[in-house]
Structure 1
Amino acid sequence: MHSLPEWTDLRFFLELARAGTLSGASRRLDVEHTTVARRIDRLEQQLGTTLFDRSREGYELTEMGQTLLPHAEAMEGAALAATEQLGGAEVAAAGVVRLGVPEVFGTRVVAPLLVKLFEDHPDLSIDLLALPRFANLANREADLGVMLDPPSTGRYMVTRLASFRFYLYAAPTYLAKHPPIRTHADLERHDFVDYVQDRLASRELSYLNELGFTPRRRLCCSGMTAQIEAASLGMGLMMAPPYAVPDDGRLVPVLPGFYAERSFWLAAPTDLYRLRRVKVVWDLLRDLADNNPKLWWHNGDMGKAA
């Protein structure tokens, strides 16, 4: 290697590593895909090594590419931090933050919080990725994310956001037309609404397996929004955390003593966590989780949760 690589070439390397295809990286960088290919070829020639394995499916990092990745990410983080500080953003958060959250949590809980956040930080913008899956932080789909499975490898800041419980709910119209539910054994005679089992975003969402019998799933959906609507229309019982259940009476608790407990985790790449704009959103979610127990537990369970 005769000279240090240019930072712009490393940006192309990072985006191709995250996107996995020339077309994906070119969209992220707003350039032609041929430009991406040319810059990667130049970087590999300059470093004297192959950074990507090419195939018809796309680009995959080689062992040397994996070695370069954390160094390039550290440089990216330093560049972002320097830009913030030089722009005075260390005092007032500014810029765009991409926040990945589960769909119902994002819609019912996070979105309303943004009104006050924007009042306090008028130069801050949020891309709220309210998804029926969990945002991929490894390819920088989001700057930070709420998830059931925290990253186990890589450079991340991770904290347990909240422990919560999935409870059983049903529509009053469903309960009026079906046998009464007085004990756990009565559940075997009822229909359920659940996730599509081979499309689960996390194994943590297989909570109906904790019933102790194979439930009769009459309708399976890819997301919880559709499940809530189906259960509200009387198609079967469903399990959901308190924050997800509308307060309009369309769903009521069933057999409150049964629940499945899970935890939400909050994670961000270490280099992005240091940015003022990301830290502001991180602190907002932490404050939400710590001071709103009714989102996570039924009233009678709050003392037990402590």
Structure 2
Amino acid sequence: MARLPSPDDLLILLTVARLGRFNAVAESLGTTHTTISRRILALDRQLGGRTLERSPHGWELTELGASAVAAAEAIEETLGSLAGTIGQERDALSGMVRISTSDGFGAEFVAPALVRLQQRHPLLNIEMLSATRKVSRNRSGVDLEVVVGGTDVSNAQTIFLTNYYLRLYASPAYAARHGLPETPDGVGQHGFVSYVESALQVAELGHRSSQLPAPKSSFQATSIFAQVEAVRRGAGIGLLPNFMVARDSGFVPVLPHDFERQLPIWAVARPESMRSARVQAVIAALKEEVAARQDLLAA
């Protein structure tokens, strides 16, 4: 009878699926890159195929790897239930829930919602991963994804959360020094702050898809927080989420009647994740948060 794969190796694969890079996994588990690589190779030999393949964004699961991670998640769930039983701690919600979300919306809306949920359920553990990207093909390693823009999935459930606006902003000092454009064509005479196009997975967030003219100069960053700070300090005109800057006196609207882009935000989960009380509670908390702050999203 064939020997079953090591549960420890399966859990290591699960951590790789969540973090994407061996170095990050080694740091998380208190071991070395070489050890992680050796354990994954041992698991591949035991399963008879590759569980991971390289991508520009780190390691991605193969079809075999996705099946192995599903088994690892079941092991982790069982161990979590056992820990709760041993500790004789009772709570309506306990264990771990993992959410992937874009960083701006995650900080402004997801984090406050999850903090309140955890305060109501102290045995609930949360991991929030920041990633501005399309819906993952396999969605392994996370229970719920919060994504911006279109969703094209056939094997997952999508839940609409809210819309928000991308608008053009500059700092008052930049406006005083350089003036502001009076038409969209005039944006080309200014510096422009936006995402790094070569690393951007959600095209709607970038300058290239905005149909605005090529800028005089550009400041591109993968972090929306870096973009906000660059605009604040006068790097140029930025394409920014309204909920992050609309009520901040450090920003002035640019072409407020001539340019804006409305984008949806969705929660996406696999059918098996939707059966989890923890995931259902997270979705309810997110809906509660956006409903209570629609005035900011519509500002």
Q: Check conservation: 1:100, 1:134, Cα contact below 8 A.
A: no
Name the structure 2 match of 1:251: 251
Name the structure 2 match of 1:262: 263
The residue identity in structure 1 corresponding to 2:94 is: A
Q: Check conservation: 1:143, 1:272, Cα contact below 8 A.
A: yes
Query: Shift of residue 225 of structure 1?
Result: 0.8
Q: Check conservation: 2:98, 2:144, Cα contact below 8 A.
A: yes
Query: Shift of residue 201 of structure 1?
Result: 3.1
Q: Which of 167-176 and 285-294 deviates more?
A: 285-294
**2:113 counterpart SS class:** helix
Once the two structures are superposed, what CA deviation does each residue of 1:50-96 show, in whole Å capped at 9, x if it has no partner?
Answer: 43389999998777x38xx5597379459838965995999611122
Aligned length: 288
**Aligned pairs (5 A) from 1:175-254:** 175-207=175-207, 209-245=209-245, 247-254=247-254
**Aligned pairs (5 A) from 1:54-203:** 65=64, 69=66, 73=70, 76=73, 80=77, 92-131=92-131, 138=138, 140-148=140-148, 152-153=152-153, 155-203=155-203
The residue identity in structure 2 corresponding to 1:173 is: A
Find the aligned partners of 2:284 and 2:214 in 1 and give their Cα distance.
Answer: 41
**1:140 counterpart SS class:** coil
Query: Shift of residue 279 of structure 1?
Result: 1.9
Q: What TM-score do you get using the length of structure 2 for normalisation?
A: 0.74
The residue identity in structure 1 corresponding to 2:283 is: W
Superposed CA RMSD? 4.2
Find the aligned partners of 2:22 and 2:175 in 1 and give their Cα distance.
Answer: 54
The residue identity in structure 2 corresponding to 1:124 is: L
Find the aligned partners of 2:223 and 2:106 in 1 and give their Cα distance.
Answer: 13
Name the structure 1 match of 2:285: 284
The residue identity in structure 1 corresponding to 2:255 is: L
Query: Shift of residue 177 of structure 1?
Result: 1.6
Query: Shift of residue 139 of structure 1?
Result: 5.9
Query: Shift of residue 27 of structure 1?
Result: 8.1
Once the two structures are superposed, what CA deviation does each residue of 1:243-291 show, in whole Å capped at 9, x if it has no partner?
Answer: 1217341012122121012222211232223222222112111222344
Query: Shift of residue 124 of structure 1?
Result: 1.3
The residue identity in structure 2 corresponding to 1:192 is: F
Find the aligned partners of 1:279 and 1:186 in 2 and give their Cα distance.
Answer: 47
Which of the numbers 50, 53, 67 marks the counterpart of 1:52?
Answer: 50
Query: Shift of residue 142 of structure 1?
Result: 2.8
Q: Which structure 1 residue ranges, 5 or more long, are not aligned? A: 45-49, 299-306
**1:234 counterpart SS class:** coil
* Cα gap change, 1:189 to 1:162, in 2 (>3 Å): same
Q: Check conservation: 2:53, 2:62, Cα contact below 8 A.
A: no
The residue identity in structure 1 corresponding to 2:290 is: A
Find the aligned partners of 1:114 and 1:54 in 2 and give their Cα distance.
Answer: 31
Find the aligned partners of 2:192 and 2:226 in 1 and give their Cα distance.
Answer: 13
The residue identity in structure 2 corresponding to 1:41 is: R
Q: Check conservation: 1:167, 1:253, Cα contact below 8 A.
A: yes
The residue identity in structure 1 corresponding to 2:288 is: D
Find the aligned partners of 1:217 and 1:173 in 2 and give their Cα distance.
Answer: 18
The residue identity in structure 2 corresponding to 1:163 is: N
Query: Shift of residue 178 of structure 1?
Result: 2.0
**1:250 counterpart SS class:** coil
Q: Check conservation: 2:11, 2:72, Cα contact below 8 A.
A: no
